[in-house]
Amino acid sequence: MTAVSNLARTVNIVPQPTSGSVREIEIASIDVSPTHRKPDQDWVVALREDMARIGQHTPIQVVEFGERFRLIKGLRRMLAVEQLGLIHVDAFVQSASEFSSEAALRMEQISAQIMRRELSVLDRAVNVAAWRSIYETTAGVIRPGRKAIRGKLAPNSDEALDEHAEIFTGTFSEAAQRALGLNKDAVKRYLRIARIDAAVIDRIALHAIADNQSELLALAAEAADRQAAIADLLLSQPAGASSVAGAIYVIDGKLPTPALAPWERFSQRFTLMKEPDQERFFDLHAAAIERWLAKRSN
């Protein structure tokens, strides 16, 4: 299974059918219920691109009615196969006789669509980080001569993350980026979250924080020993803290200093500039300054 497949799939918690067989059937013979969840076309394109490399690794699920079939699960996979120009799709085929009624069949369709646990933010971050590392190692995307290879960038620095994210994101089509939620900024956030200590990741994997991106980023900003202490407080019964900021307050006895907004960071740097440099800045951004002055005069 490729990394695209690993991220694209969800963890199915519906019991798998105990009878049936995997067969190759004609796509044209498959009927899709009008109430079936509508497919995201970006996902279809992303799956098509994955299948173009490795083929269809997971069969769709259908029920056989004479010479036709009714789709239970796998519409996006079926459409992806069809977009590849193929007329057959691998399917797990069950007989209609296995279902006691139309209602039982409909319940099978419904459960296949809603009884799933989506990947958490933490799951995705860990997968993306591993995917990036494996891809860049095996595909040679980062080649000798790049700054990171020459040692000019610290492996876990923000600059290195920015470079890794830019290279990795460029390996996807725009449709795949949208479907997987993997634009450059998202990849950077995932790589940052994946820097959380491995032991801490294992401990918080099923905690509510695992699906809270801002909380995970706040945890990732702390040193490994402090991450462990924060996890202790979040996981204790009763909980010693309900958030990373709350845990830091318990540990340090004071609230953490809030991160400065980009304009605040620039303002601090600007005030330290010498007057000639400030004037050069004004010259370069004269249009924006004039626009701001015009608004103030209205």
pLDDT tens column, 259-295: 677 787 788 888 888 888 888 888 888 888 888 888 8
Q: Which fold has domain 3-117?
A: 3.90.1530
The pLDDT mean for the chain works out to: 80
What are the tens digits of pLDDT across the range 17-62?
Answer: 456 789 999 999 999 987 777 888 888 999 999 899 889 989 999 9
1-10, 157-166, 203-212, range with the lowest pLDDT: 1-10
Q: Quickly list DSSP for the chain.
A: --HHHHHH--EE-SPPPSS-EEEEEEGGGEE--TTSPPPPHHHHHHHHHHHHHH---S-EEEEEETTEEEEEE-HHHHHHHHHTT-SEEEEEEEEGGGSSSHHHHHHHHHHHHHSEEPPPHHHHHHHHHHHHHHHHHHS--S-TTSTTTTT-S-TTSHHHHHHHHHHHHTTS-HHHHHHHT--HHHHHHHHHHTTS-HHHHHHHTTSGGGG-HHHHHHHHTS-HHHHHHHHHHHHSSS-S-SSHHHHHHHHHSSPPPPPPPHHHHHHHHHHTS-HHHHHHHHHHTHHHHHHHHHHHH-
pTM of full prediction above 0.85: no
Which pLDDT score, from 0 to 100, does residue 70 have? 93
Q: Across residues 225-251, what is the average pLDDT?
A: 92
| Domain coordinates in residue numbering, the chain | 3-117, 121-195, 269-297
